[in-house]
Amino acid sequence: MALRELRDATAKNLLDSLLQVSPNRFEVIVLDVLHSLGYGASRTDLRRVGGSGDGGIDGVISLDKLGLVKVYVQAKRWQGTVGRPELQAFYGALAGQQAKRGVFIATSGFTAQGIYFVRSVEGMGAG
């Protein structure tokens, strides 16, 4: 029981810290976490592209040495739930890049309608 309480407290402290960092820093942290999970052969395979006029894409991960296979990333530092409209906008951004893969990461949860939308399209994951 003590381990679970410690884990929950650590998760809450981490979330509180993430909500305090700048949007740019949050995007870099998300890319670092994705790299530590095995995305991209080296950290240089992950590129932050977020910012004003980013077209709904915060990062790009090259999965192969030539950079032909890519995963596009959206990172949201939100307290409210993410709904279908935000996920549809990201899906549109993926279509604009002719992308086959995308990952939408948020500090909050997702609405039931958002989850249903993600499950209805190929190549998109949310977490």
Question: Average pLDDT, stretch 96-100?
Answer: 89
pLDDT of residue 100: 87
Give the least confident one: 57-61, 92-96, 119-123: 119-123
Cα angle for residues 107, 113, 116 (degrees, 5° grid): 95
In this prediction, residue 110 has a pLDDT band, given cuts at 50, 70 and 90, of: very high
Q: Using the predicted structure, report yes or no on whether residue 54 has a pLDDT greater than 90.
A: no
pLDDT of residue 124: 58
Domains for the chain: give ranges and CATH numbers.
23-126 (3.40.1350.10)
| Helix-helix angle 84-96:112-120, to 10 degrees | 30
Which has the closest alpha carbon to 97: 73, 64, 115? 73
Structure-token pair, residue 100: 């086959």
pLDDT digits (tens, 9 = 90+) for 1-37: 688 888 888 888 888 888 899 988 999 999 999 999 9
pLDDT digits (tens, 9 = 90+) for 67-93: 888 999 999 988 889 999 999 999 999
pLDDT of residue 65: 81
How far is it, in rounded angstroms, from Cα 6 to Cα 34?
24
CA 3 to chain centre: 28
